[in-house]
Structure formats: structure tokens, C-alpha cells
């Protein structure tokens, strides 16, 4: 029997068992197109930048929400705004560099220029325009946006709740991860394409970590303690405390796993905001992972590494070394993830379902708290996904 979504546009077989997910959602083009419309253009917020990436007036960054290019600009008035990265004249993409700076934004096609606050400033040949043309109708198209501890969130949807309601219980943890006020400096990036669907990237959990990652075993990370909780908006907060690493005997430079301040507890904690934004506090690293789908088969992830503004040069370099070596795309305790995401994606072409088991005792709803090593909490993300997509259970 085929089950239809609400608009009867995308048909999918969704299992009746609450812990099963149909594999076809990972590779079907029509499902992906519906995700772009309902999730990435829908009533969710998306993490698009941190203020430290565009610290001075005139600085900008380009990014994507789903497949839609956006432009985040630091205005002369100090405000960070998020615009469609598309000229309001004939739609040309305005900026193509990952980051840049300038007093004005100029479209290359007909050289209209815009202030960094979005207003249309200059127009060649305007004398030949229709009499009712008004400059004020052609400023850059601005998205709803909000800044929380320096993190810029944006949405194309007028129906997304206010940001504080959407973030819910995650907000104090975001503050904690960023040392209270989010007064950060940018250390650098690693940008990666994964040959997998964005939901495979987002389905990572605490269960696999000590089993998949060889280095986690060598470093004795399986002895970690902690818990995770899910919010009603399907955000996950996983709080893990690591034991003293000690001398595991296989690192020539143990500083990559030792805290800079030996008196501090070692955290390995993650906030995953639905649908696909991540904030990590691991050892001395502060990482944000900015994620967007490039296609149904490819996911782009920008690992952005941050320090605190007051850091010494020594601490900055310590953080940078830990950041890429631990949880970067080829880090000790994440190296194998990309390979597994790809294997899941390749194998998603086989029929049937995948099934969550660890921590599954029955249907669950948020808010809920579990041990940090359970995979069952991902089912809350899947339920939000299923409902948003309009897929009915068999
Ligand atoms: Fe940008 Fe014409 S499309 S100025």
C-alpha cells in the first residue's frame, strides 16, 4: 500500500513501527525536493554565521539555507543582517567569495550598488526607468534573522516561532559552550563535502563513538559519563564528561587531548539544532558546524573553529591544534564518520528500513533525558521530520 503525504505530491512507504525509518528517504530526489521546500524554506531557524566571522562593519559571509544562497553582512550600524544573495533587479548572485569586506555591495550585471545595510544606493541609467520606479522598493531582500550569543540564525519563513521559543532549553547550554557571552574570535575553517545525504550526517549519535572510532578506544574515551536531552523542537543536547586521558601510549603529543588548564574538567559536548546545525564544546575547542545539502547525495559542512577574544597566543594555537585533530573531519574521533555516512548512503538503495535499537523501550516524545550513549533520541528528530514532510504511517 502506498501512503501519501498531505498534498499527495510525494508518496512514500513509512513503516508502522515507531523505531524504523524507510531507506528511500535518503536517496529519493522527490523527497529531497520536498525537504528543501518544507524544512529548509519552512518554519525552522538555520545557523548561518557567528559574529566573529564578520567582525567589522562591511564584512560579509556567503552561505546557503538548503540550496538558497544567502549573504550575511555586518552593517555600518553594527547590525548583522541576512539577505538573499540575489540582486533584486534581475536576480544575479551578488557575492561568490566565502567571505569578504567592502563599503558597498555591487551587482556585476548592471552595476546596481547597495549599502551594507541593504538599501539600494546607485543605479546606472536610472533616467530611462519607468516614472513610478522607486529606489526604496529595490533594497536587498532581507530574511528574518536573530543574533544569540553572536550566532546568527535566519529563516525564510514568517511562520517560524521567535528564536527564544525555538531554541528553548538549549539556550543556556549555548551560552555555557561559548563561555557565557559568545565574545569569540575566528581561528579558521575546514570545509568538507560528504558523499552522503544530509540526514545521514545528522543521524550521528553517542552510541557509535566508542565502537566506530579506534582512537576513542585507544584514548580510553569509552569510560565517559553523561546524558543527553531532547527539546520539544527536536534539538539535542549531549553532555559528556571525559575521564583523565592519562598516558594512553600512542600519542607523541598528548596536548591534543589534554586540557590547557589542567584543573578544568574535560567536556565533550554537542548541541544539535534541528534540522542540521551543530555547536560543539570538546576539550578546549569551540566549534560550529555550518551544514547544508548540495544535493540528495552530497552534504557540505563548514567546520568553523573559534577561540575567546581574550585568549593568549599560546591558548589560540592550543585550541586550533585540538580542534582539527580531535573533531575535525579527519580528527582522531571523527575520521571514520565520513566513511560510514557514505556506506549508509550507498546501501540506502537496498529496499526496506533501518531500525534504531539502543535505548529504545517504546515510543518516546520530547522533552526527554537519556544516557548520552543511547541512539533512541534520534527518533524524536525523525518524528518531527515525518510530520513536517506529511508522511503518514502505514
Ligand atoms: Fe543586478 Fe541587474 S541583475 S543590477
**Over the stretch 168-191, which tens digit does the pLDDT of each residue have?**
999 999 999 999 888 999 999 999
What is the distance in A from the centroid of ligand 1 to the CA of 53? 27
Extract the C-alpha cell encoding 140.
536587498
The least confident of 210-214, 247-251, 340-344 is 247-251
CA distance 390 to 7: 8
Check pLDDT > 80 for residue 203: yes
pLDDT at 88: 98
- 92 pLDDT above the threshold of 50: yes
Confidence of residue 251 (pLDDT cuts 50, 70, 90): confident
Q: What is the dihedral of CA 268, 273, 278, 279, to 10 degrees?
A: -60
**What's the whole-model pTM score?**
0.95
User: Looking at residue 3, what is its pLDDT?
Assistant: 44
- Place 327 in a pLDDT band, splitting at 50, 70 and 90: confident
Cis? peptide before 7, omega within 30° of 0: no
Q: By mean pLDDT, which of 77-81, 95-99, 344-348, 372-376 is the weakest? A: 372-376
Locate the ligand 1 atom nearest the alpha carbon of residue 107 and give its number: 1
Q: From atom 4 of ligand 1, which residue's Cα is the shortest distance away?
A: 110
Best of 107, 114, 122, 124 for a ligand 1 pocket test (most atoms within 8 Å of beta carbon)? 107
> Helices marked H in 332-372 — which ranges?
337-347
Residue 142 pLDDT greater than 90, yes or no: yes
d(CA 150, CA 168): 17
Using DSSP bridges, classify how beta strands 184-194 and 353-355 pair: parallel, antiparallel or unpaired.
Answer: unpaired
**Residue 381 burial (C-beta neighbours within 10 Å; 0-12, 13-18, 19+):** buried
**What is the separation, in whole angstroms, between the first and last Cα of the chain?**
8
Amino acid at each position: 500500500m502506498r501512503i501519501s503525504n498531505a498534498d499527495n505530491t510525494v508518496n512514500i512507504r513509512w513503516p508502522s513501527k515507531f523505531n524504523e525509518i524507510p531507506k528511500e528517504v535518503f536517496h529519493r530526489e522527490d523527497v529531497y525536493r520536498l525537504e528543501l521546500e518544507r524544512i529548509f524554506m519552512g518554519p525552522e531557524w538555520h545557523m548561518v554565521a557567528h559574529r566573529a566571522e564578520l567582525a567589522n562593519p562591511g564584512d560579509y559571509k556567503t552561505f546557503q539555507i538548503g540550496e538558497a544562497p544567502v549573504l550575511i553582512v555586518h552593517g555600518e550600524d553594527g547590525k548583522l543582517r541576512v539577505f538573499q544573495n540575489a540582486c533584486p533587479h534581475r536576480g544575479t548572485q551578488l557575492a561568490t567569495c566565502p567571505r569578504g569586506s567592502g563599503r558597498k555591495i555591487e551587482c556585476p550585471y548592471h552595476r546596481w550598488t547597495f549599502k551594507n545595510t541593504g538599501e539600494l544606493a546607485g543605479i546606472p541609467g536610472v533616467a530611462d526607468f519607468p516614472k513610478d520606479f522607486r529606489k526604496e522598493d529595490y533594497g536587498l531582500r532581507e530574511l528574518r534573522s536573530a543574533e544569540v550569543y553572536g550566532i546568527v540564525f535566519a529563516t525564510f519563513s514568517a511562520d517560524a516561532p521567535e528564536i527564544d521559543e525555538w531554541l528553548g532549553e538549549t539556550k543556556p547550554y549555548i551560552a555555557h559552550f561559548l563561555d557565557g557571552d559568545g565574545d569569540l574570535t575566528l581561528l579558521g575553517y575546514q570545509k568538507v563535502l560528504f558523499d552522503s545525504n544530509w540526514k545521514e550526517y545528522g543521524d550521528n549519535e553517542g552510541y557509535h563513538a566508542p565502537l566506530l572510532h579506534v582512537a576513542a578506544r585507544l584514548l580510553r574515551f569509552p569510560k565517559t559519563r553523561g546524558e543527553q536531552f531532547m527539546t520539544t523542537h527536536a534539538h539535542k543536547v549531549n553532555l559528556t564528561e571525559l575521564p583523565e586521558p592519562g598516558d594512553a601510549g600512542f600519542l607523541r603529543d598528548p596536548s591534543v587531548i589534554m586540557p590547557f588548564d589542567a584543573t578544568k574538567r574535560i567536556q565533550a559536548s554537542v548541541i544539535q539544532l534541528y534540522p542540521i546545525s551543530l555547536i560543539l564544546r570538546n576539550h578546549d575547542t569551540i566549534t560550529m558546524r555550518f551544514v547544508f545539502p548540495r544535493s540528495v547525495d552530497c552534504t557540505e559542512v563548514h567546520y568553523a573553529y573559534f577561540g575567546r577574544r581574550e585568549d593568549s597566543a599560546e591558548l589560540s594555537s592550543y585550541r586550533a591544534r585540538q580542534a582539527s585533530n580531535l573533531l575535525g573531519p579527519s580528527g582522531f574521533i571523527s575520521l571514520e564518520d565520513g566513511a560510514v555516512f557514505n556506506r549508509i548512503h550507498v546501501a540506502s538503495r537496498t529496499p526496506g528500513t533501518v531500525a534504531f535499537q539502543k535505548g529504545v523501550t517504546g515510543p518516546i516524545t520530547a522533552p526527554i533525558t537519556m544516557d548520552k550513549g543511547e541512539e533512541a533520541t534520534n527518533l524524536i528528530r525523525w518524528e518531527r521530520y515525518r510530520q513536517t514532510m506529511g508522511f503518514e504511517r502505514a
